[in-house]
Chain A
């Protein structure tokens, strides 16, 4: 208890050195894993698994961004966020399958691009509206209530979303139409990488960079940062708190929608209870990276993607979640504020 502040002060004084050590350690771990993977599977297989991990990580990262933004601004663990991702997957598959009438892969590149962009735009807009509506009715009235009250309504909203989707689509898996042709693959020796995976990683990276620019460079982004730092002071400086929080939910939900779209494209199926597990892992990613930190959330998402794909590659698929949470506990024991999180005071 007494040693803790001293240690953190010392750490703060030597931030650059500490960061360098941390980066080196991370690099060493990554290289170590890479060497082990290559020696076990060969270069081609290892590359394929790497792309797998990046794809899965990109999906978790997109969901984790919404968690971390909402937590950063109103300190709410938004349990309904995982279900927003699930709703996004269903909106996207409905739009592609029923509105656009898609029932097979498209090889014509312009048409493909048009459809994919349309799916992203429609899903993200609908999800953004749903997110803002939920915030307005389930969380906003409770902003001054005890901290656990909005947590309970979030759980309630999660149940509501799941039940609505289950009523509409049934309790079993629904197929998401395939857009990208299976044959589009880049061969690497005996293994191959699908174009779809690269596309997904690219989309995720573009969205993340866009989010960083939005938060860092725009007026609204500054409003969000100041509201997260100190809501009352921000209000005194003329920031419209209600609008800022609504926009946070809007962006977070839209990103969850984008994650739903790519998830449908990659895995081809969706189920009403997909959201909980995905949300749990994404939240773990957010905490792993340091909650409230958007770069950390993205990093955490990719780390969890790697852990899961690694567990699958080694034949421990069923233990995947246990390994993920085990890693989380270990990281938090040594770095209580997450990998990139700031060491906060007791009452921060």
Chain B
């Protein structure tokens, strides 16, 4: 008995040390963890149950696409999870980042802008602009975040939600209808792929350069997110989320602070947009529908709002469920030889199953898979209060019934 408990305490102590060290060197911890995760994921792609779903290179490619959503979820988490501002049109900033890259990195866009970047550098040589464009895309998206936020951030939470939802609808409509400068439905194609001096241009055949780039991006954004949240600004965000009036009374400039949350969240989406555009080599309005906004929000809520690792895992899980698991159900059930299941076409049921998964996961864990510890404590306090109220309500009901 005592031996077991000793072992237990020893173990706790050992992990305590590790935790402390991790907290002290947060950035290095993130880099190392991302490197470990980044090394394990490709290995999984070569192990039997996974190889049957799709070939390894498709897995690597899928991980990279999932990474785009991890980036989006991290950015939205800053806005929704940390600062408590409900943004339902997040895909708009994703679109703005993507189109920013498209204008600089495609012949069509160069004509519109009146620059001769691709002509002078050549298709291969122009790929180098991808790297500075990551920053430019972030800046442009952040600018639009401020433009949208400045007039609307005074609104109460749910009014903000509907305005952002409207913005999320307007942006694709503008890209769709302003044919002369955006090429309408077809979008802008023929974007140059990223290139590096020694490695040369990235290609569609080799998923690895994109994968490694994505790992680096996610690690960088994650480090920045943690640094931000632990900064004065991050504490201001949390204060506003908890009680805006109290925060203002304590000297926080709520408008500037909320604008910064909006701008920084938008800039992350801008980076994701630039990366995604460079990978798909085409941008079109239908890539940025409300489904993207809602899916990213679901990732944030499911992962556990406010917790960056949780949100990243949530994004990865939902992306994998939606794009790999549901699509490979057909093959899976064909092999099982169960008559009814073999006849069902699961591709057609994809959205039904996705919807059921969202509802089911929320019912099982309303606070998300990995809730932020502080939020969790608040939540439980609320529930304790609420259950008291429920008792009262139940009593009132029975009394009414007796009458």
Contacts and interface: CB of A to CB of B under 8 A. Distances in A.
Interface of A: 1, 71, 75, 77, 79, 137-138, 141-142, 144-146, 148-153, 155-160, 162-164, 166-167, 231-232, 235-242, 276, 280, 283-284, 287, 291, 318-319, 321-322, 324-326, 328-329, 332-333, 336-338, 344, 346-348
B355 A280 contact: no
B80 A159 contact: no
Given A152-B297, A237-B396, A346-B156, A167 B166 contact: no
B393 interface: yes
Contacts of A151: 297, 301
Nearest to A80: B355
B389 interface: yes
A149 B366 contact: yes
B301 A148 contact: yes
Contacts of B389: 231-232, 235
A155 B293 CA distance: 11
A280 B169 contact: yes
A322 B170 contact: yes
A322 B163 contact: no
A164 B352 contact: yes
B204 interface: no
Interface string B243-275: 111001000001100000000000000000000
Given A77-B161, A163-B351, A235-B392, A155 B298 contact: yes
Given A144-B387, A159-B355, A235-B389, A149 B170 contact: no
Interface of B: 80, 86, 151-152, 154-156, 158-159, 161-163, 165-167, 169-170, 173-174, 176-177, 243-245, 248, 254-255, 290, 294, 297-298, 301-302, 305, 348-352, 354-359, 362-363, 366-367, 375, 379, 382-383, 386-387, 389-390, 392-393, 396-397, 399-400
Nearest to A239: B396
* Best-buried of B154, B349, B352, B357 by chain A (most CB within 10 Å): B352
Given A155-B298, A160-B356, A333 B167 contact: no
A146 B86 contact: no
> Interface SS of chain A: helix, strand, loop or mixed?
helix
Given A319-B177, A332-B152, A333-B151, A283 B162 contact: yes
B250 to A, nearest CB: 13
* Best-buried of B170, B176, B244, B383 by chain A (most CB within 10 Å): B170
Nearest to B367: A146
A324 B13 CA distance: 60
Contacts of B393: 232, 235-236, 241
30 contacts: A138-B359, A142-B363, A144-B382, A148-B301, A149-B362, A152-B302, A153-B358, A153-B363, A155-B298, A155-B355, A155-B358, A156-B359, A159-B355, A163-B351, A163-B355, A232-B393, A235-B396, A238-B400, A240-B397, A240-B400, A241-B393, A242-B397, A280-B165, A321-B169, A325-B169, A328-B162, A328-B163, A329-B152, A338-B159, A346-B245
A319 B298 contact: no
A192 to B, nearest CB: 31
A346 B244 contact: yes
Contacts of A164: 352
Contacts of A155: 294, 297-298, 355, 358
